[in-house]
Amino acid sequence: MPDRYHIHAVPTPARFRRVGKFGNVDWREDCSRCSNCVKLRCTYDVYRQESAHNRDPAAPAQTLNGCKACLSCVQGCTKGLLGLSVNPEFLDMGDAYWRPDILLTTWNQSDAGKIPVSGAGYRGRFHGPGFDSIWTDMSEIVRPTRDGIHGREYISTSVDIGPRPMRLEFDSEGRMLTEPARLLELQLPAILDMPAWQVQSDQLAQARAIAAEELSSLAVMSAPDAAALPPELLPSAVPVLGREDIPKSAGLLEEVRMAELLDGPEVAAQAGALLSKNPELMVAVRLALRPTAADRAAELARAGMKILHLCADQHGRERPGNGGPGRHLKDVLREVHGRLVKDGLRDTVTLVAGGGIALPEHMAKAIICGADLVAVDTPLLVALGCRVCRDRHVSCTGGRCPAEIWAADAAYAAQRMVNLMSAWHSQLIEVLGAMGIREVRRLRGEVGRAMFLEDIERDAFGDIARVSQTRVCT
Amino acid sequence: MSTTETDLSARTRVEPRGHPPRRPCEHPQDTSAREVHPAPDRYRNAIGKYKIDRLGSCVSCGRCAEVCPEGVHSKPGGYAFTLRPQDHLCVGPQCAKTDHFCVALCPQKALRLQRNASAECMGDPRWSSDLILSTWHEAATGHKPPPHLEYRHGASGGGFDSLRFQFEIEGSERPEQVPTAEIDTSLDLNHRQDGRPQVHIDIPVYGGGMSFGSVSIHTILAKARAAVAWNSFTCTGEGGYPDRLVPYDDHVITQVATGLFGVREDTIQRVRIVEFKYAQGAKPGLGGHLLGDKNTPPVARMREAVAGNALFSPFPFHSVYSVEDHKKHLDWIKEVNPRCLVSVKVSTPTDVDMVAVGSYYAGAHIIHLDGSYGGTAAAPDIAKKNIAMPIEFAIPKVHKFLRAEGIRDAVTLIASGGIRTPHDALKAVALGADGVVIGTAEMVALGCVRCACCESGRGCPRGIASTDPELMKQMSLEWATQRLVNLHNAWREQMVEGLSLLGMRSIRELRGRSDLLCYLSDEPALAEEVSR
């Protein structure tokens, strides 16, 4: 039995100042100095820890804003002077998609790679757009392994990239005529993609490559970034090549295992050019998600392209080109997957889905919708303290990043990324285990193991009269 | 009803309806009074929706104390100063329309009314701040919350929060109201006609499983005593059967879960209902999880485990691979205790309807569906949000399927996992359940703010879901019992009011009447987008 896949998460405290949801305890006048509040009574000792940090900035920053809002101090204050409020800085982070709670949980997971566990029930909206309108299935009696999901018998999260023979052919002597499959096996159904916008940092690409090597995955980066990598990291790198990069990248192409080409009319010819330099190379086509994605994917598959990387925008939407809101990645993926199945092409290509993958459940749900694996981009920045500022990325360059991502060194950044992916991997296993599935390959396109809002809402409430909110008596 | 001092001091005796004759017990059974008494917040400063600031320009003239009928302001005789406002009693801006609005009447303009930022810290879309405050009010007074709180639904934008009864819609036809005194909220739980005793509960609600270890012994006992008072049930959860529960045997459900912690022949034999927990809504497909810090020596003794170690329950039952195995399980329990009813608690997968039918044919009296948005003391966030369907979808699916199979009237269908208010309970029954199980609502009644820290370190900082000897002393058993007795009274009053508006004399008439519901077709404005 091969060694079990294990991600080595190492506690790596954040270097950036954390923004918590509850950070503001307000003392009103007339305090009697009894200290019968957070000073003495805080169950979590938050006040003392934060004070320690105020005195010594070198103290670990992860406890800052650690108030859990149990309100014991507010309700216990002798004179009723204390008040707590939601930290406005917290609410100001991110945007409608990259919500503050997503940023916070990503920071926490990057600290030590632990699965976020909490008490009480689910706290969010009943459903939401995109992936939040899918629930995954579970089984009451089927279990994936004989000794628990974290037992000795393990749940495989490995996926293959590359062309698979559709059938084996033999000659009359029984000798196999089919070329053996050349597959890139990744142990995690995720590759580490480059940020969707310009970020100032010399170390980011290298950090992704180091993390990808540790994770047995791949790191996507620009051709110049890949060329600057130490040679031992090149097998983990995937350079993205435009037309002008190809002639300059001959040396690079001999070292890497996979490259991506930007989609265009000449992409098949360009792929041929790359393969002439390195016949072992996996060539993927990176195509922006547009309303014509299904047609284009089928066209590329027919043209012999084996790996398609579908890129939604940062919010997981397609780019319709008319300024309007596009469909969500999940809907487009179902269409693309369904079209390829219908045309008999699905098993000839590997589908990578990226853009808007923000949480580990998005990884599982994208695979359910038809992807083989996902590409993770923005969460890798968030792991380093990114707050997805709403300033059209102005502060991502020129040394203005509030989390100082430009100053993070490669080893630190890589370990934070590894920790995050370790937590995601463990959570993917939880989801697979609940479904009774022991191999992520079997999850691809398994829409029967998911519940889609529109279907179960119709089944449950289809016979109930619809009314407008305006008709409800207040 | 508004919160006044008069209300708080009111003592209401609620007459039991349809109380069945008690059977003789092996152990002397404790009784607990079904009486509403005020049980105000146990903290020094109660939290309300609004805050009244008294500015430095106040001259303590006492005008505010004279005008406020809610008891927010007071200046006792002989006092030179007006006391600090009891602003948790304030009804807010709606008071401005009256002739007793303190802010407008203050001669010094020294009062300021605003939303209480501290109260807004405890809200989330599922359990909005208003719902928590409403539940606190119900537990404190035993009656319906005042109208300035949205006590009927949360702000999650779907499920129960998007369902309304016809009587809530403008211009809808209203049947003739039934006098509330004639309305029956009781349920029989045995519909199998299999010779086993009938079990009757006076309210269509009982308490969910919370193990010794996950919550404090005071919480467990208070739930049991409230169950006795209301002739209902509480459940042990999977942490064993503490000896202190023995005086309440008749109202306790012994849970047999995958870890089999503390399950013994005598704990199965002493109760009237035994529950098999196949899965839990908050963490479907995953076993129970008690973090090491909460596994204190008494907990470890009860579970026959080593103190300090995290305890994982396996998933699923390692002896059950099919409906036939499931039947063997049930037969085993029925053999050990020939007079008990058997409940089967399952989560809500896509094939929950088939699971329910299988459980019926295996011999279950009660099918307990636990939806995915239910509470827990520790679960991975990814499971709570994503795995299995919310209870609102599962109830009609199972109800319709059981009806199509012709066995709906032979089994009791109980729903849990996201039942927060009596209005949710009525909607669950209208969708097809017979009754509901609640958990988080009881915790909130005991003072939970849903800070979600039940699992970390010493457990609940408010002493509810904690086994820490110091933290659990924050709550007395008497106070906790009264809060839960009050809560059930407030719930029953509201359910009776709803049934009266529907023109029904019994909760049993409402089962499956989804035609009385409406579904909001537009997205409501959400109170709070941010959740933890």
Alpha carbons A96 and A83: distance in angstroms, whole number: 28
Q: Which residue of A has its CA nearest to B123?
A: A123
The size of the A-B interface in CB pairs under 8 A is: 303
Q: Which residue of A has its CA nearest to B456?
A: A118
The proportion of chain A whose per-residue pLDDT surpasses 70, expressed as a percent, equals 95
Q: Which residue of B has its CA nearest to A427?
A: B382
Cβ-Cβ contacts under 8 Å, A153 against chain B? none
pLDDT digits (tens, 9 = 90+) for A32-42: 888 877 777 78
Alpha carbons A98 and A252: distance in angstroms, whole number: 35
Cβ-Cβ contacts under 8 Å, B465 against chain A? 119
Q: Which residue of A has its CA nearest to B323?
A: A141
Complex-level ipTM beyond the 0.90 threshold: yes
Reduced to 3 states (helix: H, G, I; strand: E, B; else coil), residue B346 is strand
Reduced to 3 states (helix: H, G, I; strand: E, B; else coil), residue A445 is coil
Cβ-Cβ contacts under 8 Å, B315 against chain A? 143, 148, 433
Q: In degrees rounded to 5, what are phi and psi of residue A298?
A: -65, -40
Q: Is B394 exposed, middle or buried (0-12, 13-18, 19+ CB in 10 A)?
A: buried
Is the peptide bond prior to B316 cis by the omega test (within 30 degrees of 0)?
A: yes
B1 confidence band (pLDDT: 50, 70, 90): very low
Cβ-Cβ contacts under 8 Å, B122 against chain A? 69, 71
Reduced to 3 states (helix: H, G, I; strand: E, B; else coil), residue B184 is strand
Reduced to 3 states (helix: H, G, I; strand: E, B; else coil), residue A189 is coil
Compute the nearest-CA separation of A422 from chain B (Å): 14
Name which of B69, B112, B25, B149 is nearest B423 in CA terms. B149
pLDDT digits (tens, 9 = 90+) for B400-418: 999 999 999 999 999 999 9
Is the peptide bond prior to B390 cis by the omega test (within 30 degrees of 0)?
A: no
Reduced to 3 states (helix: H, G, I; strand: E, B; else coil), residue B353 is helix
Cβ-Cβ contacts under 8 Å, A134 against chain B? 386
Compute the nearest-CA separation of A314 from chain B (Å): 19
Q: Which residue of B has its CA nearest to A74?
A: B45
* 8 Å CB contact of B118 and A77: no
What pLDDT shows up at residue A286? Answer: 97
- Is the pLDDT at A262 greater than 50? The verdict is yes
* 8 Å CB contact of B451 and A459: no
Compute the nearest-CA separation of A81 from chain B (Å): 9
User: Is the CATH number of domain A159-456 3.20.20.70?
Assistant: yes
A180 confidence band (pLDDT: 50, 70, 90): confident
CB-based contact, A433 to chain B, within 8 Å = yes
Domain B180-519 architecture: Alpha-Beta Barrel (3.20)
Instruction: Write out the residue limits of the CATH 3.20.20.70 domain(s) in chain A.
Output: 159-456
- Average pLDDT on B284-289 reads 79
* B84 secondary structure, DSSP code: P
Q: Is A461 exposed, middle or buried (0-12, 13-18, 19+ CB in 10 A)?
A: buried
What pLDDT shows up at residue B13? Answer: 42
The whole-model pTM stands at 0.93
What pLDDT shows up at residue A63? Answer: 58
Alpha carbons A335 and A368: distance in angstroms, whole number: 12
DSSP H or E run through A111: helix A100-112
Q: What residues does each domain of chain B span? A: 50-115, 180-519
Selecting from A22, A77, A430 the residue whose C-beta is nearest the C-beta of B286 gives A430
Same fold, B50-115 and B180-519: no
B19 confidence band (pLDDT: 50, 70, 90): very low
First to last CA, chain B: 33
* Fold of the CATH domain B50-115: Alpha-Beta Plaits (3.30.70)
CA distance readout (Å), A254 to A273, A281, B363, B490: 13, 8, 67, 75
- Average pLDDT on B312-318 reads 80
